A and B are shown apart, each in its own frame.
Chain A
Amino acid sequence: MKRTLVAVMVIMLAMTVVFAGGASEKQKAVEKDGGVEKATIYLWTAWKAEAGIQEMIDGFNAIYPEITVIPVQFSNNVDGNLKVDTSLAMGSGIDVILNFGVNRVASRAAANLLLDVSPYIARDGLAVASEFGENVYTLDGKYYSLPATSNAYCVFLNKKMLDAAALKTPTSWTIDEFYEYARKLTKDGVYGSDSLRVLNQWLFMATNTFKENPWYTKDGTSNLGDEYFVRALELHKAAEDAGIQYPYTEFVSTKISTQDNFLNGNVAMAIYGNSLARNLIDLEKYPHDFVVEVAPLPVMQEGDVNYNVGGYYGYVGINAQTKHPDASWLLMKYLCTEGSYGFMKVGHIPTWKGTNLDNIVADTFGADAERFINVEQFKQVILNQMNLPQQIINNFTAYNEITNIMAEEFESYAFNITNLSKTIANVVHRSNEAIASAQ
Chain B
Amino acid sequence: MNMTQRTRNTIVGYLFLTPSLIGYVVFLAFPIVFSLIISFTNWDLISGLKNIKFVGFDNFIKMYRDVNVTKALKNNIIFAVTTVPMTIFIALFFAVLLNNKIYCKRMFRLFYFIPYITSITAVSVVWLAMFNPSSGPINTILRSIGVAKPPAWISSPHTALLSIIIVSIWMGIGFCMVLYLAALQNIPVSYYEAAELDGTTELGKFIHITLPLLSSTTFMLFITRLITSFEVFGIISVMTGGGPVKSTTVLVYEIYIQSFQYYKFGYASAIAWLLFFIIFTVTVLQWVGQKKWVHE
Residues of A within 8 A of B (CB): 78-79, 82, 85-86, 88-89, 107-108, 110-113, 249, 252-254, 400-401, 404, 408, 411-412, 415, 417, 430, 433, 437
Contacts and interface: CB of A to CB of B under 8 A. Distances in A.
Interface of B: 44-48, 62, 65, 67-68, 132-134, 152, 154-157, 243-246, 257, 260-263
Contacts of A108: 46
A89 B48 contact: yes
Contacts of A89: 45-48
Contacts of A400: 261-262
A254 B243 contact: no
A253 B47 contact: no
Contacts, number: 55
19 contacts: A78-B260, A85-B46, A86-B45, A86-B46, A89-B47, A111-B47, A111-B48, A249-B155, A252-B155, A252-B243, A252-B244, A401-B262, A408-B68, A408-B245, A411-B243, A415-B244, A417-B157, A417-B245, A433-B65
Given A111-B46, A415-B245, A82 B260 contact: yes
A110 B51 CA distance: 12
A432 to B, nearest CB: 13
Contacts of B48: 89, 111
Nearest to A112: B47
A404 B261 contact: yes
Contacts of A82: 260
A83 to B, nearest CB: 10
Contacts of B257: 404
A290 to B, nearest CB: 26
Contacts of A404: 257, 261
B245 A411 contact: yes
Contacts of A113: 46
Contacts of B155: 249, 252-253
**Chain B residues touching A, majority SS:** loop
A412 B48 CA distance: 37
Contacts of A249: 155
B44 A253 contact: no
B43 to A, nearest CB: 12
Contacts of B65: 433
Nearest to B128: A255
Contacts of B47: 89, 110-112
Nearest to B256: A78
Contacts of B133: 253
Q: Is the interface of A mostly helix, strand, loop or mixed?
A: helix
Contact of A437 (B45, B62, B67): B62
B243 A253 contact: no
Given A415-B245, A417-B245, A111 B44 contact: yes
Given A85-B45, A113-B46, A411 B262 contact: no
- Residue with the greatest number of chain B CB neighbours at <10 A, chosen from A113, A249, A252, A412: A252
A233 B268 CA distance: 32
Nearest to A79: B260
Given A85-B45, A400-B262, A415-B157, 13 more contacts: A86-B45, A89-B45, A89-B48, A107-B46, A110-B47, A111-B48, A112-B47, A253-B134, A253-B152, A411-B245, A415-B156, A415-B244, A417-B245
Contacts of B261: 78, 400, 404
Nearest to B58: A437
**Which of A400, A408, A417 has the most chain B CB atoms inside 10 A of its CB?**
A408
A86 B263 CA distance: 11
Contacts of A112: 47
Nearest to B153: A253
Contact of B46 (A88, A252, A254): A88
A412 B276 CA distance: 30
A411 B244 contact: yes
B67 to A, nearest CB: 8
A417 B261 CA distance: 26
Nearest to A400: B262
The 8 closest A-B CB pairs, nearest first, are: A253-B155, A111-B47, A252-B155, A89-B46, A253-B133, A111-B46, A412-B245, A85-B46
Contacts of B156: 415
A397 to B, nearest CB: 12
Contacts of B44: 111
B46 A408 contact: no
Contacts of A254: 134
A437 B62 CA distance: 10
A113 B263 CA distance: 15
A85 B261 CA distance: 11
A408 B134 contact: no
A110 B67 CA distance: 29
Contacts of B246: 408
Contacts of B134: 253-254
Contacts of A88: 46
B111 to A, nearest CB: 29
Contacts of B62: 437
Contacts of B245: 408, 411-412, 415, 417
A31 B67 CA distance: 59
Contacts of B262: 400-401
Contacts of A107: 46
A223 B257 CA distance: 24
A151 to B, nearest CB: 22
Contacts of A85: 45-46, 263
Nearest to A433: B65
A411 B262 CA distance: 20
B131 to A, nearest CB: 8
A417 B262 CA distance: 26
B269 to A, nearest CB: 16
Contact of B132 (A253, A411, A415, A417): A253
A433 B263 CA distance: 17
Nearest to B158: A415
A411 B68 CA distance: 14
A110, A253, A433, most chain B CB atoms within 10 A: A253
A86 B259 CA distance: 13
Nearest to A82: B260
A124 to B, nearest CB: 29
A249 B158 CA distance: 13
Contacts of A411: 243-245
A253 to B, nearest CB: 4
A78 B44 CA distance: 15
A81 to B, nearest CB: 9
A401 B155 CA distance: 24
Contacts of B152: 253
